[in-house]
Structure 1
Amino acid sequence: MGQARPTLTALAVSVLALLEERPMHPYEMFQLLLRRNEDLIVKLRPGSLYHTVARLADQELVRAEGVDREGNRPERTTYRITASGRDALRARLAEILRYPAREYPLFPVALSEAHNLPKEDVLGLVRERVAHLERDLADLDTMSDWARTHEVERRYWIVLPYLRATLSAELGWLTGFLDELACGALAWEEFDPRTGARLAGPEHPWAEDDPPERPPVPRRSAGAAP
């Protein structure tokens, strides 16, 4: 049996994609990712990036090519992607594009349990979220305008309209949610104004032994990484 292909994190994918362009050292990778606003889609920290490069080297997906020193700066090791790294990158990209993974973001957790907060608190908090998202939307528009003005090929910034579409969808849904909650169309928990304790109400309608049915999850092809 062949050796199992290593599962690449989001940051590892970004590192290999950079090295597919040309060899570079980790500090250059970090700065380039920041200039390209990759921190919008990847959790980017210098320590995590250096750790990721070291791990990729251990897995022989990249290899050290040389050490440079400029003035009094620390030595910087330049890395190059290997043939195995290129294969791993392409396989991981294909897998991510093919399968919609459950990524478990935090906001749906808070939204599903928001009924534990008084209505006025929820209204205020979600309105703050909307304001933050509107600023994020404006930032995405600025970046897209810059790319168009500088005639950057769309394949290099196609993620920006995707992020804008998902952000716009969330904003649209939240606006409707706020309208329903504010006008009373959406019934909400009631709380004692003195103690903050929730007043007695009906039990949760979904009993533990009778969950709503879900369609079966399609199986992945043989050999696909989890």
Structure 2
Amino acid sequence: MAKRRKVGNPLALAVLAWLVTGPMHPYELGRRLKQSGKDRNIKYNRGSLYMVVEQLRKAGLITEYETVRDTQRPERTVYALTDEGRNELYAWLRELVAEPQHEYPQFGVALSLLSVLSPAEAAELLGRRLAALAAEADEIRAELQKATDGDVAWVFLIEEEYRLAVLEAERRFVTGLAESLEQPEYVRSWHEFFGGQT
């Protein structure tokens, strides 16, 4: 069972991980998340990043390291990882890697209610989803190729490899599902059950 975390937002885990490399200002953390492409897996904006940094500070997982004064810019606070923060980072990451968690993707919700749609409409919508999945997979492949050509080590690309594997599995699943929805037995049973309600 997953442990309850002092700050459970995935963005907090990313902040802790980046602070392993050294003290940073939140703006620099955000810049690195974006440059490394981690913003594709972790939703955030500037406000949420600063909020998470403050939550981590209050929880004692990070601390104010120094205040930088620059005549060109306002005063900036640089944060560093505490020993407790380092322990939290490694414990949390180990848990996420080793222990599968039940997630609640929106597509799962749609699938659980799919029978409300007519078989023809559901199959057509799944066809549109297949096209979108194919486009996304092509985009990921292009990004992976660009990164590989740029000599980025494979370990820094694994989340994209994972995304691609999940997309490919979803494409296979959706293809089979669309075919099943067009089977005469399903169409007949759907009309018997829902036919008069649409």
What's the TM-score bracket when you normalise by the shorter of the two chains?
0.7 to 0.9
Aligned residue runs from structure 1 range 1-226, under 5 A: 6=6, 8-70=8-70, 73-184=73-184, 186-187=186-187, 189-190=190-191, 191=194, 197-198=197-198
Amino acid at match of 1:61: L
**Normalised TM-score (structure 1):** 0.77
Amino acid at match of 2:10: A
Is contact 1:16–1:89 with CA below 8 Å preserved after alignment?
A: yes
Instruction: Write the distance in 1 (CA, Å) between the matches of 2:177 and 2:68.
Output: 56
Amino acid at match of 1:22: G
Is contact 2:7–2:56 with CA below 8 Å preserved after alignment?
A: no
Instruction: Write the distance in 1 (CA, Å) between the matches of 2:184 and 2:38.
Output: 41
State percent identity of aligned pairs. Answer: 33
Change (3 A) 1:75 1:185: farther
Is contact 2:26–2:78 with CA below 8 Å preserved after alignment?
A: yes
1:166 CA displacement: 0.9
Instruction: Write the distance in 2 (CA, Å) between the matches of 1:5 and 1:139.
Output: 34
Instruction: Select the structure of larger CA radius of gyration.
Output: 1
Moved more, 46-55 or 61-70: 61-70
Is contact 1:6–1:88 with CA below 8 Å preserved after alignment?
A: no
Is contact 2:13–2:89 with CA below 8 Å preserved after alignment?
A: yes
Instruction: Write the distance in 1 (CA, Å) between the matches of 2:160 and 2:44.
Output: 18
After superposition, the C-alpha distances for 1:31-64 in whole angstroms (9 at most, x for unaligned) are 2212222122112222211111000001111111
Amino acid at match of 1:75: E
Instruction: Write the distance in 2 (CA, Å) between the matches of 1:179 and 1:5.
Output: 43
Counterpart secondary structure, 1:77 = strand
Counterpart secondary structure, 1:68 = strand
Structure 2 unmatched runs, 5+: none
Instruction: Write the distance in 1 (CA, Å) between the matches of 2:130 and 2:69.
Output: 47
Number of aligned pairs? 192
1:66 CA displacement: 2.2
Amino acid at match of 1:33: L
Instruction: Write the distance in 1 (CA, Å) between the matches of 2:69 and 2:121.
Output: 55
Which residue in the other structure is 1:224 paired with? none
More helix by share: 2
1:184 CA displacement: 3.3
Runs of 4+ in 1 over 6 A off after TM superposition: none
Is contact 1:8–1:92 with CA below 8 Å preserved after alignment?
A: no
